[in-house]
Amino acid sequence: MNNSLTWVDFYMELADKLRTFYQDRKALIEKVKQVYEIVPMPLPTLEKDNEIEDIDPFTVFGTFNKGITDANRSILLRGYAQVLGLQKEVPSTFAGVPVLNNQKATFYNFKGDREERDIDKLWDVFLAAMDYAQAQSNENRARLVSCFDAAAQIKGVKWNLTMALFWIRPYEYLNLDGRSRWFITLPDRMPKSFVEQAGKLTQMPSGEEYLSLTEAAKEALQTSNYPYNDFPELSYYAWDVSQRVNEEKRAQQVQPQRNNVGEGLADRDVDIVHYWLYSPGDNACMWDEFREAGIMAIRWGEIGDLREFSSKEEMKARMKACLDPTLSYKNAAHATWQFVNEMKPGDVVFVKKGLHSIVGRGIVTSDYEYDEDRGDAYKHIRKVNWTHNGTWEHPGQAVMKTLTDVTAYPDYVKTLCSYFADEDQDDEEAPSTPFPVYTKEDFLQEVYMNKEQYDTLAGLLRRKRNLILQGAPGVGKTYAAQRLAYSLMGVKDKSRVAMVQFHQNYGYEDFVMGFRPDPDGAGFKLREGPFYKFCKAAEIDNDNDYFFIIDEINRGNLSKIFGELFMMIEKDKRGNKLQLLYADEMFSIPENVYIIGTMNTADRSLALIDYALRRRFAFFEMQPAFENEQFKTSVEEKHNEKYSNLIRVVKGLNRAISDDAALGRGFCIGHSYFCTTEMVDDAWLRSVVEYELVPLLQEYWFDDLQTVSQWALKLNEAIR
């Protein structure tokens, strides 16, 4: 068995044990509480005020199959093994195990929000799945289909039901979490017949459809030549590929990504190459040894395996305890954290010696390893394919750190990469990379719009080429812009989306090109701006669409920023060439470039948009989405009465703002103030009211303190 799949036997034994509590669930509740007393860890919220009266077996699995560290998962499972008398080895790695969102780790809703038989339905499908896994008779199949369909109707129970069945019997039931759905619908990952049967998997299947798909997947794995032969291996492989994203194809990549602007808005599952500057010991004293061994290593081995730490603060504390309590270890903890959590296979490493020399380059080829048998402090290790060894002059003075992520400095990275380019290869191609699929359905799941609004929005951008999302603060304009781009591309291809933010001092020299001080101190140098580079990238890839996002577009002087290109952004002027101001070049904006701007309609400090801009852009107004069905569902799933009360008051507040002649609907409060992945508790609610909403009202009604006081009182009463 793959060493990463040792969890399988333990999970199956736990499922067998949980079955014995079907008729005595109060005893099971006491066992769960006992686990958390032994660990010890705080008991997660499993009911209102944690007055637990009933529980289902999937929720028990959910207590440890959520966003916590592997170390803490192992600790919890050791507690379950002790309390329940389990004999199988407690796993320490969980690669490929699907996990729940921490905000919804129970499979049932809390008292008052769930139907009478919801927990019974979860037990029914659990028992039916266990029986069908043991004896696949027609009778057991029909029973499982019926129970599956009933459980799937429970509010909040969707794809996580397939995850739960996979937990209890990993070899028998197909996991359909988001990562696995993406992976198994790729033609080169499963047979064509299976991919056609599965479709795009945008809707939760019925029980019959799920079992048919499971059977087809099992047959495909058994009869086809894939590196995965069963469902645990398939789930592991989907996880591994999503982490590496075609590591082998990009292993020889030397050119930096074109666009690193805007990372983090919708890119959590978009794998990009990072570039690191690395020092192998003082003055590269360990370089020869590490190069020969095909590794890179960093110090501070005394603190132990870095995977045991859940934060940099924990690393700092251990360093002080093990090394020198008088030092802060700020830089050291940052390096160890990045080395274990942020660096990944496929990343490029440049090796520095002192402050002025580069002595090598390589590609990371492994995950983090801890070598406790090494006789020195360099116990934290990754394997590296060292591609170059020599001496190159570092551009300027290098940073004095062991490890530095330099990805955010594209010009600097480009200079370093140029040292190692193949002189005999004039036109090097970047390796092809598979990107996560992103569809209209994905957009509608993440952005609170309905299908009609999305179709209108997408149609405007396709027709006009230039679009501005305008609206009140907090309606999710920037959030929606990047997701709109990805949905129109069909994939999350980060290289085809760029983002900048305009401000009052932003100019043509920043945006298109201009003369800037040379870092080497040799006067001024002509530098290309992000829009120029983006258009050049789109020009040679005209079969694909490119999206340039301008946040806060009305904060800049558009005619000053675009200069002679202001006319060229019009759809019917695309492709026409114009002489650039600072370069001897005839330049055009390609037809496959789409521009999306965002504009806050509640900012009094900004002048009205001039007619020249309005003629070149379509305008789409985004409204607060409190009436959106998905938003309402998300509110219900928080199970917090104060949170719901606050939103009801804000909806009334928005009506007052809309009716105010001095304000209007452009000043309404948006729904994103209430979108959070944090635990919604009293402290969170007070913070939103006191430090976000009330200061906003003080700005709106700066000359009407009585109105501010009235609404501040209503907001505070809602959360009291």
For the ranges 19-23, 25-29, 250-254, 318-322, which has the lowest average pLDDT?
A: 250-254
Report pLDDT for 585.
85
Q: What are 585-631's pLDDT values in tens digits?
A: 889 999 999 999 999 887 644 445 566 667 888 999 999 999 988 89
Handedness of CA 186, 189, 192, 195 (dihedral sign): negative
pLDDT at 431 over 50: no
AA letter at 357:
S
Strand partners, 491: 437
* Statement: residue 245 has pLDDT above 80: no
CB-CB neighbours of 89 under 10 Å = 12
pLDDT at 428: 41
pLDDT at 99: 86
**Lowest-confidence pick of 26-40, 97-111, 452-466:** 97-111
Whole-number Å distance between alpha carbons of 120 and 132: 18
Going by pLDDT thresholds of 50, 70 and 90, the confidence category of residue 237 is confident
CATH number, span 440-622: 3.40.50.300
What are 75-119's pLDDT values in tens digits?
Answer: 999 999 999 999 999 998 888 898 886 556 789 988 888 899 999
- Write down the pLDDT at residue 26: 95
From the list 74, 68, 69, 71, the residue with the least C-alpha distance to 89 is 74
43-52, 251-260, 497-506: segment of lowest average pLDDT: 251-260
- Residue 142 has what pLDDT? 97
What pLDDT digit, counting tens, does each position of 300-315 carry? 999 999 998 888 999 9
Beta bridge partners of 579: 586
Domain spans of the chain? 3-242, 275-418, 440-622, 629-718
Range with the poorest average pLDDT among 31-45, 432-446, 456-470, 692-706:
432-446
pTM of the model: 0.54
pLDDT value at residue 181: 85
**What's the pLDDT at 432?**
47
Question: How far apart, in whole angstroms, are the C-alpha atoms of residue 689 and residue 314?
Answer: 32
pLDDT at 433: 52
Amino acid identity of residue 77, one-letter, is L
pLDDT at 258: 31
Look at residue 423 in the predicted model and tell me its pLDDT: 39
- 703: CB partners within 8 A, 6+ apart: none
User: Which region holds residue 156: left if phi is over 0, alpha if psi is between -120 and 50, else beta?
Assistant: left
Average pLDDT score over residue span 449-461 = 94
The pLDDT score that the predictor gives to residue 345 is 87
The residue among 13 and 636 whose pLDDT is bigger is 13
| Total residues found in the chain within this entry | 720
Asked if 670 contacts 647 with a C-beta cutoff of 8 angstroms, the reply is: no
pLDDT at 669 over 80: yes
CA atoms of 88 and 82, how far apart (whole Å): 11
For the segment 3-26, the average pLDDT, to the nearest whole number, is: 92
CA atoms within 13 A on the CB side of 160: 21
Could you tell me the pLDDT band of residue 265, with boundaries at 50, 70 and 90?
very low
Q: Which of 163-177, 197-211, 675-689 has the highest mean pLDDT?
A: 163-177
pLDDT digits (tens, 9 = 90+) for 547-561: 999 999 888 888 889
Q: Tell me the C-alpha distance between 221 and 51, whole Å.
A: 45
Confidence band of 422 (pLDDT split at 50, 70, 90)? low
Is the pLDDT reported for residue 188 higher than 80? no
For the 275-418 domain, the top CATH level (class) is alpha beta
Phi, psi for residue 619 in degrees, rounded to 5: -120, 130
For the chain, what is the mean pLDDT?
86
Return the biggest CA–CA distance within the chain. Answer: 83
pLDDT tier, 180 (very low <50, low <70, confident <90, very high otherwise):
confident
Are residues 372 and 379 in contact, defined by beta-carbon separation less than 8 angstroms?
yes
> Smallest Cα–Cα separation from 417: which of 434, 436, 392?
392
pLDDT at 531 over 90: yes
